[in-house]
């Protein structure tokens, strides 16, 4: 069971044992507001995805979606407590920031759907082509995104786009499997990363520097 310790005991723990406890709160009232904003943001994102992917707007489906998103957030808080605190900056506890992110996310989702359709057509072309012109590669790149929500959205967006799969995302590094040269070029162009960065108001780069993973020993464990 994950437990919370006070600051003096937490600082004395070895690094490996720190992963089994919840870090102490520096200022509980201040951080409580940030945690609520983070949880509500996660709930809103999950609920938006539910609505977008279900395509059903009946009241019972909407209610089920709201409950499902809330349960998912509660379970993630419980399962991952103590594993990522301090690794990512906290989201600003300001209503204007949240409203801006939500509005930009609603604009991002249709763009992502379009990319999914285009990528589906490309994969169908690869499958139906007599020569099966695939060129699978495993590449790694470092992201400029700093927040947990932005990195999660980037990882899921890459996986949702046919032809690319996020194999691993940790420490600001992404390991991606690309099915063809075109899908690899899509990662290098940084289009998805740029769009996600704009959603959360974070920095981005015009071209992503990717490294090919050619030997098993190069795969991060």
In 115-214, the DSSP E strands lie at 137-142, 164-170, 173-178, 211-212
- Between CA 45 and CA 37 the distance in angstroms is 12
What CATH code is assigned to 134-218?
A: 3.30.70.330
Long-range residue pairs from 87-91, CB within 8 A, at least 24 positions apart, any chain: 87/148, 88/146, 88/147, 88/148, 88/151, 89/146, 89/147, 90/31, 90/34, 90/38, 91/34, 91/37, 91/38, 91/41, 91/147, 91/149
pLDDT tens track of the chain, all 221 residues? 445 455 455 555 555 454 455 454 454 555 566 678 778 888 988 888 888 888 888 888 899 999 999 999 888 877 766 555 555 566 665 678 788 888 999 999 999 999 999 999 999 999 999 998 999 999 999 999 988 889 999 999 999 999 999 999 988 899 999 999 999 999 999 999 999 999 998 988 888 888 888 765 665 55
Alpha-carbon dihedral angle through residues 86, 92, 98, 100, given to the nearest 10 degrees: -110
Parse the chain into domains and list their residue ranges.
Answer: 13-93, 134-218
C-alpha dihedral sign at 116, 122, 126, 130:
positive
Write the DSSP symbol of residue 180.
S
Instruction: Provide the β-strand partners of residue 174.
Output: 141, 169
- Between CA 221 and CA 85 the distance in angstroms is 21
pTM score of the predicted model = 0.64
């Amino acid at each position: 069971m994950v437990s919370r310790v006070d600051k003096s005991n937490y600082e004395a723990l070895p690094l490996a044992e720190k992963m089994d406890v919840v870090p102490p709160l520096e200022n509980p009232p201040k951080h409580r507001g940030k945690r609520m904003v983070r949880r509500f943001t996660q709930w809103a994102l999950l609920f938006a995805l539910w609505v977008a992917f279900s395509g059903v707007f009946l009241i019972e489906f909407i209610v089920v979606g709201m409950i499902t998103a809330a349960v998912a957030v509660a379970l993630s808080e419980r399962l991952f407590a103590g594993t990522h605190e301090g690794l990512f900056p906290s989201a600003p506890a300001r209503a204007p920031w949240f409203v801006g992110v939500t509005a930009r996310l609603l604009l991002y989702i249709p763009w992502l759907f379009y990319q999914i359709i285009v990528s589906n057509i490309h994969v169908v072309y690869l499958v139906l082509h007599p020569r099966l012109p695939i060129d699978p590669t495993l590449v790694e790149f470092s992201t400029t995104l700093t927040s947990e929500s932005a990195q999660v959205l980037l990882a899921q967006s890459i996986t949702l786009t046919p032809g690319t799969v996020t194999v691993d995302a940790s420490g600001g590094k992404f390991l991606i499997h690309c099915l063809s040269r075109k899908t690899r070029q899509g990662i290098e162009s940084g289009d998805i990363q740029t769009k996600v960065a704009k959603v959360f108001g974070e920095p981005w780069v015009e071209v992503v520097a990717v490294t090919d993973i050619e030997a098993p020993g190069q795969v991060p464990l």
